[in-house]
Structure 1
Amino acid sequence: MKFTKLSLVTIFFIFFCNSSCSQPVAEQDPSLEEKIGQILMIGFRGFTVDDSDHIVRDLTEYHLGGVILFDYDVPTSTPERNIHSFEQVQDLNSQLQKISDRQLLIAVDQEGGRVARLKPTRSFQPHVSAGYIGEINNSDSTRYYASSMSAQLEKLGFNINFAPVVDLNINPQNPVIGAIDRSFSENPNLVTKHASIFLDEFEKHGITGVIKHFPGHGSAWNDSHVGMADVTETWEESELKPYQKLIKSEHKFAIMTAHVFNENLDMEHPATLSKAVQTDLLRDQLKFKGVLFSDDMQMEAIRSFYGLEAAIKLAINAGVDVLVFGNNSVYDPDIVPKAVQIILNHIESGEIEEGQIDESYERVQALKERLSDG
């Protein structure tokens, strides 16, 4: 039998399809809505996923990128939030990861001392404060404490820890830093040394540390949880040194912004909402290329002065990658759909460029890939 020209083409097409057409189709590019969901992190109520009436929706419908767990619910003044026992937290974090359609960032504030969501009274290991570690100033002791903290976080299923604090203890009476022993020292070299050890141990256990609060909260006299902290007259350039040194190191970490106002850096906006601080200073001058988290966008310093729509627009345009809504100053179960719609509206109006969302999305995905590989 002789093959015609057409039949030869047909045979080639069949052969080609058998070898290549059946290969898996490349993943579809994420939609703009998916990208926006990935740059949000929220807090929620519930010891199990079933206890929350919105977290499953946020993870599945809005592709939420991250969650943060707390041990105390501030709006209701009760210890009924997310953290009850070791096994319960393990189960909760496992449930959250399974529901998410991609790697989920699961965060906690575990600094040690007064700021510890995982408390010994609930069967968790005790962790000393940064102030105590700085006073001892012994690298072996620091590594011991950092290793113990990291191992516990890993077992519990956390992959983000909003620590260590690298604020300098310039004002020992600072109500949210110095007065509660959250700073290693007023000496930037000592702060860098101990922070570096913590970051090293976090990395070994698959945890990304988040140093905070950029560009420095240690000199403030007031608390940004309840109002705007103005550090114009007290901030010192030495507060940048831990960031400068750690950025130049080989450590992989993220940074959290500070809700502080410094007229010398930006005459109009606090650091979290300032392009001059977060892009011009942190990105362009200090060359930070990692993920930048906001401090809680619902804290009084931001919420009462700016409102949700303006704050979201300013933070994204400043260069913040992940907007954190702790839902623990006020509680809003619909904060995710609200934030997504606000961002979409700002993009449609031209007040936020879609390219800014793309840049943050790519940085977040790079972080998640590193965590998956780790």
Structure 2
Amino acid sequence: MNRITFSILLLLLYPLTIEAQTLQEKTKTQPSLDEKIGQMLLVGFRGTSVADTNHIKRDLTNYHVGGVVLFDYDVPTKSTTRNIESPSQLQKLIQDLKQLGGTRLIVSIDQEGGKVARLKPEKGFSKTVSAAYLGQLDNADSTRHYARKSAETLANLGINMNFAPVVDLNVNPDNPIIGGIDRSFSADPQTVTKHASIYIQTFDNHGVWTVLKHFPGHGSSKNDSHLGVVDVTDTWSEQELIPYKKLIDRDLVDAIMTAHIFNRNIDPDFPATLSKPAIEGLLRNDLKYKGLVISDDLMMGAIRNEYGLKTTIKNALTAGVDILTFGNNSIYDPNIVPKAHQIIKELVQEGTISKQRITESYNKIMELKSNADM
């Protein structure tokens, strides 16, 4: 073969070589089904360091878990030490978790303020105030001040998601899980929206995602969904959707958490977390929400006592939940991630849940993660 013929042959093969390299690069960067499923799981664990637990390292490295949730109190053992001992200890724990799970790991916490605050003064953290206090004060500067203090604390620790603000209306002041412990800004939807907006924007300025809760509204309930079924059919009203609609319309929402409440006027069969009419219908179609949906803890009594794990996962995914939360703090199951991961994979393999459905949630999760400084 002479030099001219060889050069012509190279020119002919060059586009094919480039195409093969491009295909190879795309194949390398495409996440597997296992990785996509893992990103849809958010799990709690015991231990103040990664060495303290026998499963969180496995869950992050082998199952590609996309997020963790931190607690100060372990409910099953009634221990005041779960994940949090001090600011320096917690910062180190979070650094180690991110080394295992990647810098894009969601590290979440319930730091609402007041009675629902995992970072407490007795562990070396600043005192917080409740949403009810801020709503009654109704001063924008005060809400901004306390939100900034909390946001700075979380950002400095490496926590990038706060399960707050609560936008439930204080319809029932005796509600044992909302009004009774001062978690609502107000019974007035305009006041709730005002202070939630300030809260969200302040946290956004510090690079911490916020999560509105508990959709479609837990404020009128008479019972605690941690313990069992909560029926709001006769107490809930569409007014409870107003803060969601206003915040969605203003494009202020990072994520929304579902409530395990039952309302036969929305869905005669399932609570909101497992309800297609509630999530796909009411939230996505009616309120035009296109973002991330996170379930409340699927190990809470309202779900665990009524449904098997496979039914729970199947219905949540069918309904439109993107991230499944297993707090591991109502009961403790060190193997909840392998179980949930396998169930989702089986649902895909048997055709009950499509690969496209998994990809849709994965894309929403990664879009959120890619739009922030982790």
TM range (shorter): over 0.9
1:334-349 to structure 2, matched below 5 A, reads 334-349=335-350
Report the alpha carbon displacement of residue 102 of structure 1 after superposing the two structures with TM: 5.5
Give yes or no for the alignment of 1:308 onto 2:327.
no
Give yes or no for the alignment of 1:243 onto 2:253.
no
**Aligned with 1:256: secondary structure?**
strand
List per-residue Cα deviations over 1:147-205 (Å, max 9, x = no partner).
Answer: 11101000010111000000000000000000000000000000000000010011001
Q: Distance in 1 between matches of 2:10 and 2:322?
A: 52
1:264-343 to structure 2, matched below 5 A, reads 264-343=265-344
Report the alpha carbon displacement of residue 94 of structure 1 after superposing the two structures with TM: 0.8
**Aligned with 1:313: secondary structure?**
helix
8 Å Cα contact 1:159-1:371 kept in structure 2:
no
Amino acid at match of 1:35: K
> Would the alpha carbon gap of residues 16 and 112 (structure 1) be closer, same or farther in structure 2, given more than 3 Å must change?
same
1:66 aligned partner: 67
Report the alpha carbon displacement of residue 89 of structure 1 after superposing the two structures with TM: 0.8
Q: Distance in 2 between matches of 1:117 and 1:208?
A: 17
Report the alpha carbon displacement of residue 337 of structure 1 after superposing the two structures with TM: 0.7
Runs (5+) with no aligned partner, structure 1: none
1:25 aligned partner: 25
Give yes or no for the alignment of 1:8 onto 2:7.
yes
Q: TM-score, with normalisation over the residues of structure 2?
A: 0.95
Q: Distance in 2 between matches of 1:20 and 1:222?
A: 60
> Would the alpha carbon gap of residues 173 and 353 (structure 1) be closer, same or farther in structure 2, given more than 3 Å must change?
same
Report the alpha carbon displacement of residue 232 of structure 1 after superposing the two structures with TM: 0.3
8 Å Cα contact 1:60-1:101 kept in structure 2:
no
**Aligned with 1:41: secondary structure?**
strand
Report the alpha carbon displacement of residue 355 of structure 1 after superposing the two structures with TM: 1.6
List per-residue Cα deviations over 1:293-329 (Å, max 9, x = no partner).
Answer: 0000000000010121111110010000000000000
2:167 aligned partner: 166
Report the alpha carbon displacement of residue 128 of structure 1 after superposing the two structures with TM: 0.2
Amino acid at match of 2:236: W
Report the alpha carbon displacement of residue 52 of structure 1 after superposing the two structures with TM: 1.4
Q: Distance in 1 between matches of 2:134 and 2:55?
A: 40
Amino acid at match of 2:233: T
Give yes or no for the alignment of 1:200 onto 2:201.
yes
How many corresponding residue pairs?
372
Q: Distance in 2 between matches of 1:352 and 1:78?
A: 39
1:251-262 to structure 2, matched below 5 A, reads 251-262=252-263
1:124-203 to structure 2, matched below 5 A, reads 124-203=125-204
Report the alpha carbon displacement of residue 268 of structure 1 after superposing the two structures with TM: 0.5
Task: Let me know the Cα RMSD of the aligned residues.
Answer: 2.0
Q: Distance in 2 between matches of 1:204 and 1:78?
A: 35
> Would the alpha carbon gap of residues 279 and 15 (structure 1) be closer, same or farther in structure 2, given more than 3 Å must change?
closer
List per-residue Cα deviations over 1:265-286 (Å, max 9, x = no partner).
Answer: 0001000000000001101110
Report the alpha carbon displacement of residue 21 of structure 1 after superposing the two structures with TM: 8.6
8 Å Cα contact 1:225-1:301 kept in structure 2:
yes
Q: TM-score, with normalisation over the residues of structure 1?
A: 0.95
> Would the alpha carbon gap of residues 358 and 12 (structure 1) be closer, same or farther in structure 2, given more than 3 Å must change?
same
> Would the alpha carbon gap of residues 349 and 185 (structure 1) be closer, same or farther in structure 2, given more than 3 Å must change?
same
The farther-off stretch of 91-100 and 235-244 is 91-100
**Aligned with 2:68: secondary structure?**
strand
Report the alpha carbon displacement of residue 31 of structure 1 after superposing the two structures with TM: 1.1
Report the alpha carbon displacement of residue 5 of structure 1 after superposing the two structures with TM: 3.3
List per-residue Cα deviations over 1:110-134 (Å, max 9, x = no partner).
Answer: 0000000000110001110000000
Q: Distance in 2 between matches of 1:356 and 1:233?
A: 34
2:47 aligned partner: 46
Report the alpha carbon displacement of residue 25 of structure 1 after superposing the two structures with TM: 3.0
